[in-house]
Amino acid sequence: MDKSAPCNLTSVSIKNFKSVKSVTLSDCRRINVLIGRPNVGKSNILEALALFDVPYMVNSSNKSLRNLLRIENTADLFHNGVATAPVEVSADGNTINVIRGANNGLSVDISIHGEVSKYAFSSSLTLSTKKDPTVLPGVLAYFFPKHFVPESSNIGFLLPPSGGNLMETVANLPDLKSGLAELFHGYGLKMMFDSGSQQIKAMRENGLDMFLVPFSSLADSLQRLIFYKAAIESNRNKVLCFEEPEAHTFPPYISNVVNDIIAGDSNQFFITTHSPYVMSSLLESAGNDLAVYVVDMEDNSTVVKRLTDNQLQEAYDNGMDMFYNLEAYLGK
The residue type of 247 is A
SS3 32: strand
Q: What percent helix, strand, coil does the chain show, rounded to 5?
A: 30, 30, 40
Residue pair 36/42 in contact (Cβ under 8 Å)? The answer is yes
Cβ-Cβ contacts under 8 Å for 140 (sequence gap 6 or more): 4, 53, 157, 158, 160, 231, 235, 238, 239, 240, 241
* pLDDT tens for each residue of the chain, 332 residues long: 565 655 689 999 999 999 999 999 999 999 999 999 999 999 999 999 999 999 999 999 999 999 999 999 999 999 999 999 999 999 998 999 999 998 999 999 999 999 999 999 999 999 999 999 888 999 999 999 988 888 888 889 999 999 999 999 999 999 999 999 999 999 999 999 998 888 999 999 887 788 899 999 999 999 999 999 999 999 999 999 999 999 999 999 999 999 999 998 899 999 999 999 999 999 999 999 999 999 999 999 999 999 999 999 999 999 989 999 899 898 86
Provide the pairing of β-strand 115-121 with 106-112: antiparallel
Domains of the chain with CATH codes? 12-151+239-329 (3.40.50.300)
Q: List Cα–Cα distances, 137 to 6, 237, 270, 291, 305, in angstroms.
A: 8, 11, 15, 23, 27
pTM equals 0.95
Distance separating alpha carbons of residues 11 and 40, to the nearest angstrom: 20
SS3 279: helix
